[in-house]
Amino acid sequence: MLPAIITPFREDGEVDEEGLRGNVEYFSAAGVAGIVPCGTTGESATLNFEEHKRVVEIAVESARVKVVAGTGSNNTREAVELTKHAEDAGADAALLITPYYNKPNDRGMLAHFRAVAESSDLPLILYNVPGRTSINLKPELVAELAKLENVIGIKEASGNLSQISAIIEMTRDEEFFVLSGDDGLTLPIMALGGKGVISVVADVAPRKMVAMVDAMLKGDLEKARRLHYILSPLVSALFLETNPIPVKTATGMIGLAAGPLRLPLAPMAEKNEMRLKEAVDLLGEVA
C-alpha cells in the first residue's frame, strides 16, 4: 500500500519543502510500504523540472520506506532524464505513465518504455490510466513489456476488471505484479491476484488502507470487505472533482501540509467541500 502523495505549496505558490518532509514522516510512521511522489496526485503536471527533481530528492531523504518516483512524460527524452535523476537520487523504483496526448501506436508505446528501461537500472512500474491520457496500455503490450528485466509491475487504473484479469493471467510466468490504481477497485483487483494499491485515499486514511490491503494479502476477506465499506464514503468524496483537488483539500483538513493548488486547478465547489468534510469526519483518522 503506497500513497500517491500530494505536493504541498506555500501561500506564495512555491513548494513547501518542510511541509513535504513532515508529510513524508507521517506516512512513514503509518505503516505504508512506500510513497509515490510526483504522480498525478502530486500535481506533477505543474511542477517544473527543478521542482520535480527536488521533490523526489526530499522524499528520498525523508522517507523510512520505499520511494517510487513518478518520472513519466509524453516526451521520451524527458522520461529518460527524470528516471535517471530518480535513480541517482536514491529512489527505489520509478512510476511511468503512458505517453499522454501524443497517443502513440503500439510500436511507439513499446519503443517508449523500452527506451526508458534501457536508460536506467531502476525498477520500473508502468502506469495505465486511460481516463487521464486518452490511451490504453493493452494487456498484450503489458505482457511484452513484462519480459524486460527491470519492468516489475503496473499500476492499473483503467477501471476494466476484465482487462486487469487478462494482464494478471498473461504475466503469470514473469516476475511482475499488478497494483490497483483505483481505490474503489482495490479489493476486487486483489481478489483477482493484484498485490496492492497506489492510493489517493491513503493520503487521508493511510492506516485503514494499510489494514485493508494487509487483510487481503492474508486472505481475510471478511475484514477487508468491512474496511472497504468503511472507506467507501471517503473514496466517493475524494473523486467528487478532479484529483488532486479533493485530496489536497482533505489533507489540509486533517492537519497535514497542503497549501493552495496550482492553476489550472482551482478550489472545490462549496457544496462538494462540505460533503468531503463529512466523509473525513466520519472516518475519524487524523494526522
Known binding residues for pyruvate: 41, 198
Is 277 a catalytic site residue? no
CB 104 within 8 A of CB 135: yes
- Is 155 noted as a catalytic residue in this protein? yes
Give the residue ranges of the annotated binding site: 41, 198
Cis peptide before 99 (omega within 30 of 0): no
User: Can you read off the three cell numbers belonging to residue 28?
Assistant: 512513514
Residue from 127, 138, 208, 223 carrying the catalytic annotation: 127
Q: Which of 155, 195, 223, 277 is catalytic?
A: 155
Which residues belong to the active site? 127, 155
